[in-house]
Amino acid sequence: MAQRAVWLISHEPGTPLCGTVRFSRRYPTVEKRARVFNGTSYVPIPEDGPFLKALLFELRLLDDDKDFVESRDSCSHINKTSVYGLLVGGGELWPVVAFLKNNMIYACVPLVEQTLSPRPPLISISGISQSFELLFGIQDFLHLGQKNDTELNTKLNQLPDLLLQACPFGTLLDANLQNSLDSINFASVTHPQKQPAWKVGTYKGKPQVSISITEKVKSMQYDKQDIADTWQVVGAVTCKCDLEGIMPNVTISLSLPTNGSPLQDILVHPCVTSLDSAILTSSSIDAMDDSAFSGPYKFPFTPPLESFNLCYYTSQVPVPPILGFYQMKEEEIQVKITVNLKLHESVKNNFEFCEARIPFYNRGPITHVEYKVSFGQLEVFREKSLLIWIIGQKFPKSMEISLSGTVTFGAKSHEKQPFDEICIGGTAYLKLHFKILDYTLTGCYADQHSVQVFASGKPKINTHRKLISSDYYIWNSKAPAPITYGSLLL
């Protein structure tokens, strides 16, 4: 008996969506079991947005839902069990246990340890009774002694930690969440805080928390039909917490926009105290599907005094930020070059700097350059046999720029001219260098209002993010053989 996912949704008539997902939790380990048990009838857990829309439609809670729908409203589909089937992603997600109480919708999807076609009788699915027990337990916890929205928000913020104890890996151990809360509070009272050995002192001063997200994008582009271009995003979240107290507690949430790329291969600092299992099991080795966990990614931790890297991650973004084409043709002591660059429309067109470096290895010094550039300016470093195309801070409105020209070289001098064992003959590359502030390629951001700090004083929260290039190569499309990351390390 286990649960695939749990949701708490506030019903808000009169708003555009008629509801808001206040809490959601997915259990990837259970989801993998569901994929095996259900076989061809398996339907993955959708994102919160599609699930919210499908559930409100099925429960007849949408403001504009006044028309008769045969599959839902006919007499043959009268529902007396609070178990529903939702049309999501081209399939039907079933069984979904859901009910409305005090303007809050409680919903979860239990694991069915068999195929869903044909549907097994509800009495044979033990996870359904566990679903009701879990949802009733959450309902009792939220409304026990609740006086206002502030108390409700406080309890909703406590749910992630409580479910780690009451329902680890989707298996319900104790439906009385108050017991889990009491055990947490009891542990904090009976074990007074002591100065840890790894923390050499305490901070005194104005409290503040600084969060910086840095993403580096790598790319190898060939413009060849038989060789796929590759790219990857690697991110790091750096924190500096100036907080008073021996062991202050901080929780930082990383969020993604609706079309953001899920974070994978997440590695965390040892000071992180607990993690959702969905964060740990998200891997770039697995094929991306609709069940991929897309946040929010919560990291509760006790910070050290110095600046530290809270976590690292990778992500499989759909396209590289700048698409490039580079062609170099040799003609005796000259080479003809053609470069086309295009900024993807989804990328923020506001650079701190952007330039393309075109080196010429194993040749003499540059003696003459004739060129035509559609945007920016070209600098020539003759002795270094290097061209630098300074693009600047913005691409033009067309998002496309080009450079073409002829470069003439003098006599080769092995002592002064750059030499490379790989870039021989037509094997050549262009390397992009750029930085974009207040932007990440995945869309990942840290919301200031979601940062929770349990320490004396109200801290100032500072958040920053940036995207920078790292090993961003565009290879000569006329090169005789492809160049890979591995060959560059030889």
Distance CA 127, CA 4 (A): 10
Q: At what angle do helices 149-166 and 126-143 cross, to 10 degrees?
A: 140
Distance CA 490, CA 56 (A): 58
pLDDT in tens, the chain (490 residues): 799 999 999 999 888 888 999 999 999 999 999 999 999 999 999 999 999 999 998 888 886 666 666 555 555 555 667 899 999 988 999 999 999 998 899 999 999 999 998 999 888 898 899 999 999 999 989 887 666 788 888 888 888 888 888 898 899 988 888 777 766 664 454 455 666 666 767 888 899 999 999 999 999 999 888 888 999 999 999 999 999 888 889 999 999 998 888 899 999 998 898 888 778 777 766 655 555 677 789 999 999 888 999 999 999 898 999 999 999 998 878 999 999 999 999 999 999 999 999 999 888 889 999 999 999 999 999 888 899 999 999 999 999 999 999 999 988 776 667 788 888 878 899 999 999 999 999 999 998 888 989 887 889 999 999 999 999 999 998 876 555 544 443 3
* pLDDT for the residue 485: 45
Q: What is the pairing mode between strands 249-255 and 91-101?
A: unpaired
What is the signed CA dihedral for 62, 63, 64, 69, rounded to 10 degrees?
A: 40
CB < 8 Å & 24+ apart, contacts of 16-22: 17/52, 17/53, 17/56, 18/56, 18/61, 18/62, 18/63, 19/52, 19/56, 19/61, 19/105, 20/52, 21/48, 21/51, 21/52, 22/104, 22/156
Q: What is the pTM of this model?
A: 0.62
For residue 77, the 8-state DSSP code is G
Instruction: Tell how far CA 48 is from the center of its chain.
Output: 15
Strand order in the sheet with 263-268: 263-268, 308-315, 230-242, 208-221, 460-475, 429-437, 353-359, 386-390, 377-381
Of all helices (H) and strands (E), which one includes residue 300?
strand 297-301
DSSP calls for 304-322: -SS-EEEEEEEE--SS-SE
Residues 169/2, Cβ–Cβ less than 8 Å: yes
Distance CA 439, CA 466 (A): 5
Q: Six-digit token pair at 216?
A: 């580096």
Give phi and psi for 226, each to the nearest 5.
Answer: -95, 0
Residues 372/357, Cβ–Cβ less than 8 Å: no
Residues 262/317, Cβ–Cβ less than 8 Å: no
Q: Which domains does the chain have, with CATH numbers?
A: 2-183 (3.30.450.60), 208-319+441-474 (2.60.40.1170), 322-438 (2.60.40.1170)
For residue 124, the 8-state DSSP code is G
DSSP calls for 58-69: HTT--TT--S--
Of the candidates 280, 288, 335, 275, the residue with the CA atom closest to the CA atom of residue 315: 288
Give the CA radius of gyration of the chain: 28
Distance CA 84, CA 152 (A): 27
Residues 451/241, Cβ–Cβ less than 8 Å: no
Residues 466/437, Cβ–Cβ less than 8 Å: yes
| Beta-bridge partners for 304 | none
